[in-house]
Every structure is written in C-alpha cells, then in structure tokens.
Structure 1
Amino acid sequence: MNASASQPHPAEWTETQDLLPSVARDLPAGRHQYHKEQMMARIQEDLRTTPTPTPAGPRRRNPFLHRVVLLPAAAFSLAGAVVAGVALSGGNQDGDRTALATGPALTTQIGTTDAKGAPQLLDRISLAAADVDESAPRDGQYVYIASKVADTYPKTVDGKTTIVSQELHTRQTWTSLDGRDGWLIEAGETSDKGMSLASKVPFGSAYNTLAQLPIDPDTLLRRIYQDSDAARDPEVPREQAAFVAIGDLLTESHPPAELAAALYKAAARIPGVVKVDDAVDATGRHGVAIARQDDAGERVEWIFDKKTLTFLGERSVVVEKTTDSPFKVGTITHTSAITQRAFVDAEKQVPGQAG
C-alpha cells in the first residue's frame, strides 16, 4: 500500500501562521476518547524512568505509547505484560527530541453519515482488501510503515490555555515479524536517529501473531471483544474499544490480506458504525470513511480512496460538544495518513534501499 510521502498539507486545515514553540505536554487530550487517554497516562507512569516536571503544562507522553504497541497489545494481550516487558533506548530523552512547531487547531467540515450504507461499503472494502496481491514476508524481515501524523491538544503558557495542533510530521516504524524488536523515528518524540523498541513479550500487532488470528468475521470479532474487555477502561464501551482496536491494526501493522478482509467484515458487525460521505487524511487526500462516535463526542474515521477503496489513513473529529471536552465541534484531534507500508530486510532500512 504505497503513496507519495511528499503530499501537501491538508487543504482544509487552518493556516498555521505565527507558529508557537512546542512545550512539554501530556497525551493529546482529544485522541480517540477521553477515558482511554487516562488509561494510557497511567501505563505511561509505570514506564517512565526520568520524570520531567513541566510547570507550563502537563507531563509529556512517552513516544512508545504512540499507538504502535499499546492499543494492539490491549486488543490481543494484557497491557500489564507489555509494561513489564518493554525496553526503551536510544534518543528518547527530551533534549534529543526535534521540537515540533504548533499552530491553530486543525478544523474540518463534518461529513454526512449514513448508518445503512456502512455494511455495504465495508463489504466492498473487504473484497478489495482480499484481492490485494502480496507476497508473504521472509523470515527475518521487518514491517515498515511510514505515515504523516499530527495531534491537537491544550497547551498552557503563563497560565493561559489554548488549543493548538502540531505541524504535520513524519512517523516511521519498523517491527520484526515476531514482534520482539522494533524501531521508531518521529519528530518531536525521538532524536533524528530514533529509538529502539524491544519487548520480552511480543507486540500484539506483530505480523506472525496476526497471521494466526481467525479469519471468520464472527469468530474474529468475539476474539477482539474478549481480549479488549480484559484491558479496556470499564467506562469505555466495548463496541468503541473494539472499533478502535481494529483501526489501530489497520494503521500500525500489516495484516495479511485475508485478515484485513475479515477485520472489515467484523467491523460491519459492530453497532454504531456508519459511513461518512467525505473525509480527508493528513496529506489532504479526500476519501469515503467508516466511522464510529464515542461517548466524548469524537468520531474516529477510517478513510479510504473512493475509487480503489485502499486504506488511506485515520482521523478523530469532534462532532458533538460535551461538557468535559475543551475542543470545539469540527476540531481534528488526531490525523494520520499512511504513505508507505512494506516488508524490508533490516531495521531502519527503507523500501528500495539495500540492506
């Protein structure tokens, strides 16, 4: 699933003039749903080795918890086991991170939803995913994923809090097929060289693990419900937890074609899933979306090319104002676009580069 990595910024974004310097911050407050962020913050505290006081705002998140491990692991293994088995190294200190500029909050027009159209669209997407011609990876290879991402969050400076968005930036991950080794490079979170992600417990989103999952949609959905129930915050509805878990497998792993097709069929069985007529990924590509709204008024949208039905990316949009949310309706709290996904022969190698 390849695309150009040099796409322009989304045309619908607010202009980011008079960029402000980035400051230490917590997990992006609007990402997915509020209660899950609280769970992530608690796990982050367990992983933290060097606390960094930040009088200008809340503490900064650990880049290791940036979707690639936590949510897939929460869906397919116990989060506590992951916390116990993780080793982080290489360029993960605040002083080594590349600063990200911030500007006004990203906003969008809210697309029209169609609940009745979701099953039919997901069936078409499933057929397209199953028809992808791809070779199985070789032993020793890594899953490489490049994406463009940005988050929106509250930033406090001199006692004044404003809602800001990161500049769009590149995120690169490498994960071994067995899920025990990995590497992350992301501006604002790691140094230019990146950081190692090693785990005594294989990542739940590892290719070899995914290849063993059932491809019967009903059986697969029961498995997702069962494993996400064991890790989710009780206040997060199990349907939303399952939807987000599937979305994370689509964005931060490389499911085999048969499993990808089954994941879409499983998603069609989750109550509350809708079709969105128009959505835009982080690089400005317009597409059709499959989405579900959480209890905090945010809608998680999976975006697909309207013609090929190829998965483009994901975003979270505030579609309903709630009393405990600092975000206005139309705010994009998280956006991502897959620009390249491939199997490579070595960690830190990019497609087309010799080992």
Structure 2
Amino acid sequence: MNEIERSPRGFEDQLLRDLTAHVARRAETASAARLAGRRTRLLRGWRLAGATGLAVALTAGGLAVQTMRLGDQPPPTASASEIFHLAADAARQQPELTARPDQYVFTESLATIRDMPDSGPYRTTRSQLWQSAGGVAYTQARYRPETDPNGWGELKVLRIDDPVDPEKELDAFQPPAYHGDLPIDPDELLRYLREHPVDLHLPEGADEAAVYGDESMVYTTARAVVRGYVPPRALAALFELLARQPGAVVISGDVVDAAGRHGVAIRTPGVIGGNVDLLFDRDTHAFLGTRGSVVRNGKESLYDAVAVLRTAIVDRPGQLP
C-alpha cells in the first residue's frame, strides 16, 4: 500500500484510540448498559483505505473539542441553522437519481490530505468510488495524483475492518450507499437516525447508552449518511433537522475546498481528537464536501479536505457515467 492510500488511516486510528481510551474510562465508573436493539444499524462503521477516507467522527458522552477560529476574517453573518436551511433549499433543486440494489453509486472526489495527521506536506488525489447501492457488494475504488492525469491506479476492493480491532475483517458487506428509503419529514428522519445510528463498534465495557444516546450522535450518523447518495427531499430533510440540533457553529473566514470552490464551513459536534466540518457553496449553499482537522496540545491543524465533484448511478465497478 502506497503513502497516499495509507495516510488517512493514521488520523482515523488516532481518533479511534482517543475514543477507546475515553469509553474505557467511562466504563470504570458508569454501568455497562447494553442496548438490545443496537446491533441492527442503518450503517455499519467502516473506513475507506484510500485518499478519500473522511475524518472519523466519533461520538462519546457529549464531549467535543472546543471550536477554534480558522482565519482572521469575522464569522459569516448567517448562523449554522440559517445555512442548514439554505442548504435544504439547495438540495430540493437537485435532480433525483434512482438505483436498483444491484447497481452502484459512483462518486468522484478530490482530496487534499497530509501524509500524517498533523505534519508533513499536503497531497491532492483524485478518487473514483463505486459503492454498492443495495449494500450487496464491497466498495471498489481507484486513485491518481491530481498532477498526473494518466496516473490512475488499479481498481481495488475496499473491505471493511473493525475500528476496535483493525486486523479483524467484518463478515458483512458495506452498508447500502443509496439511501432511497430515508424519511422526507425532518421529525421522522430525526427519529429514524436516532433509532438506527452508525455502528461505532465500541469496545467491550463501553457505556453504549451514553454514547449512542448523546445528542451529537445524530451528527455522527448524518456525516456517515452523506458519504453515499441521499435523494433530494431526504437530503433537504436531513439539513432541516440539523438546523434544529444544538452544537453546530459557523467557522470564521473564507473557505476554499479541494476543488478551489469558495464556501462556508459548519463545524459539527461529537468529535474526539479533531474536528469535522461540512462545507457548503458560499453562494448556492449546495453541499460541497468535508474537511477534517486534528487538535494536538491545543493546536488545530487541517488534515484533509474532500470535495465531491460528481455523483451518478452505474451498473458495475469501473464504469464511468
């Protein structure tokens, strides 16, 4: 595995170690209450072993890293809630894609990422992912340096592993990437996400009731959902419900994503050891992608920025729209 493919895992591994240490400490003083219905999830926790791996968002007992200013410009006049509402309006204007369970959600992205979470040079990599629409096959992907238009690597299968035990592969396919069954009413969607959170594969003894019951868990699951394809009305409902959730803040200063598009960043709660921001176009408020940063010794540094360029439905891995 080359450096570009290996680099996101270091950041995720560190965040996972932070989470494991946190929940282990909680388990010493809190009851290890287990939720009987938690084993059936909307999404299983997984990590992509490629340059588009997003910063892992980990909920743990309501703790979140203190927001830090990025840039010297004053904060935008709109609040996080207002921007989420505008993003919902923009989502409703998107054309709707339909997919059969045997088809694939194709996503092309640009990712600017560091070799190590808080040091080293940044690299920009273009990725193409083929995620199973119905969750019946593993994701496949290929990558190339953005500076080399002919530098595509081979198509690779991205298998899931267990964040708590990285050497253990889970005996299951990755979750469906086409979320056509999500409720389109914000209240119903909020209830659905709370009942079907992303599976964090917590260590034994962790206080699952505290982790999964925390308010910020909705953000954690929402960040996982937008990795796939969410139809326009459901995506609008997702942003509408986030507009009513506490904890999100607008980051000061102009934001430029990996594709050079100017946007606004909303910092979402529920992250340990770093921050994850959702990026929206500054003019249209369409969803652009994400960026992740790490916090070490009170200092925040950008780790990655992922710009989603296009999404389509195709019949097989390797097929381009």
2:196 paired with 1:220: no
Alpha-carbon distance between aligned partners in 2 of 1:338 and 1:244, rounded to the nearest angstrom: 19
Q: What corresponds to 2:95 in structure 1?
A: 133
- The 10-residue stretch of structure 1 (171-180 or 114-123) with the greater mean CA deviation from structure 2: 114-123
Q: Is the alpha carbon distance of 1:77 and 1:22 closer, same or farther for their aligned partners in structure 2, counting shifts above 3 Å? A: closer
Q: How many residues align?
A: 259
Q: What corresponds to 1:119 in structure 2?
A: 81
Cα RMSD of the aligned pairs, angstroms, is 4.0
Counting only pairs closer than 5 Å after superposition, residues 1-355 of structure 1 correspond to structure 2 as 27-29=9-11, 34-35=15-16, 76-79=42-45, 109=71, 113=75, 117-137=79-99, 140-152=102-114, 154=116, 163-181=119-137, 182-186=139-143, 192-197=153-158, 201-207=172-178, 210-228=179-197, 231=200, 233=202, 238-250=214-226, 252-277=227-252, 278-294=254-270, 296=272, 298-318=274-294, 325=296, 328-329=299-300, 331-351=301-321
Q: Is the alpha carbon distance of 1:22 and 1:269 closer, same or farther for their aligned partners in structure 2, counting shifts above 3 Å? A: closer
Alpha-carbon distance between aligned partners in 2 of 1:112 and 1:343, rounded to the nearest angstrom: 40
Q: Is the alpha carbon distance of 1:249 and 1:37 closer, same or farther for their aligned partners in structure 2, counting shifts above 3 Å? A: farther
Give 3-state SS (helix, strand or coil) of 1:168's partner.
strand
Give the structure-1-normalised TM-score: 0.60
Where does structure 2 lack aligned partners over 5 or more consecutive residues? Answer: 21-38, 52-69, 146-151, 161-170
Give 3-state SS (helix, strand or coil) of 2:309's partner.
strand
Quote how far apart the aligned CAs of 1:290 are. 2.2
Alpha-carbon distance between aligned partners in 1 of 2:74 and 2:15, rounded to the nearest angstrom: 24
Give 3-state SS (helix, strand or coil) of 1:224's partner.
helix
Give 3-state SS (helix, strand or coil) of 2:82's partner.
helix
CA contact (8 A) 1:33 1:294 kept: no
CA contact (8 A) 2:44 2:175 kept: no
Give the structure-2-normalised TM-score: 0.65
| 1:18-77 CA-partner distances (Å, limit 9, x unpaired) | xxx879768232x598247766xxxxxxxxxxxxxxxxxxxxxxxxxxxxxxxxx99624
- Give the letter aligned to residue 246 of structure 2: P
Give 3-state SS (helix, strand or coil) of 1:214's partner.
coil
- Give the letter aligned to residue 193 of structure 1: E
CA contact (8 A) 1:180 1:201 kept: no
CA contact (8 A) 2:109 2:310 kept: yes
- Give the letter aligned to residue 42 of structure 2: F
Alpha-carbon distance between aligned partners in 1 of 2:13 and 2:220, rounded to the nearest angstrom: 8
Quote how far apart the aligned CAs of 1:303 are. 0.9
Alpha-carbon distance between aligned partners in 2 of 1:32 and 1:114, rounded to the nearest angstrom: 33
Give 3-state SS (helix, strand or coil) of 1:76's partner.
coil
CA contact (8 A) 1:114 1:274 kept: no
CA contact (8 A) 1:146 1:170 kept: yes
